[in-house]
Amino acid sequence: MTRASNGTYRGTTTDERREQRRRRLLDAALDIVGTQGLAALTVRGVCELAKVGPRFFYESFTDLDALATELLDEVQNEALDQARSAMTETEGGPEEKLRAGVAALIIGVTDDPRRANIAFAQAYGSELLMRRRFEGMRKVAELLIEQTRVLLDIPEGEDTALTALAQLITGGAAELILVWLDGGLKVERPVLIGILADYVVAMVDRLPGMRSRLPETSAPS
């Protein structure tokens, strides 16, 4: 078939075909890493599964680390977007919005076992992925800070208590989810969501008391 002068081939442009190959590589990486582990990810294997020639792999990613980190970023960011949307769209007061956000975030990460494996267990197998996981956790904390300011009408500015609270919630929730995924907490997911939602709501309820005992603005280090 002759390639059109405008760069289209079989109805798709060069950029569209490049994006399609990139998408197939990410989907293939999700399947490999999510089911076999990070150690199983190879250029040859991901290209074969994606039905993409090896030379096209480097069109989208510099190396396997770049592929793995983009995959982890995608998993984390999609779950964050779902949580933000749930909190924004849910009617009611702070408790209802917080519960909706917790549920959306957990479902977003754990609905597909492969995504849960990448977001939690597999990150421990790579220093680079572990750093990206920490960055993802900071984004969760930032979302919690952002939404708590809105829900409780807290003014902008560095707030020691709110920052500490967000980090405590994020770290504790992440570890509990990891224990649950590993089989250490034998409850169904709705029960896990309820536990974590209760935890978040209880912690946020304590924020006014924390703020009254701590300086509103952190001193520069």
pLDDT 10s digits, 55-74: 999 999 999 999 999 999 99
Enumerate the β-bridge partners of residue 81. Answer: none
Place of tokens 């492969």: 114
Compute the average pLDDT of residues 187-211: 94
User: What value does the mean pLDDT of the chain take?
Assistant: 89
- 3-class SS at 197? helix
Q: In the chain, helix, strand, coil percent, each to 5?
A: 75, 0, 25
pTM of the model: 0.83
Residue 101 confidence class, pLDDT cut points 50, 70, 90: very high
pLDDT in tens, 110-162: 999 999 999 888 877 688 888 998 999 999 999 999 999 988 888 887 688 99
- Two tokens, residue 127: 């220093």
pLDDT(219) > 50: no
pLDDT(2) > 50: no
**Angstrom distance (rounded) from CA 154 to CA 146:** 9
Place of tokens 């977001």: 119
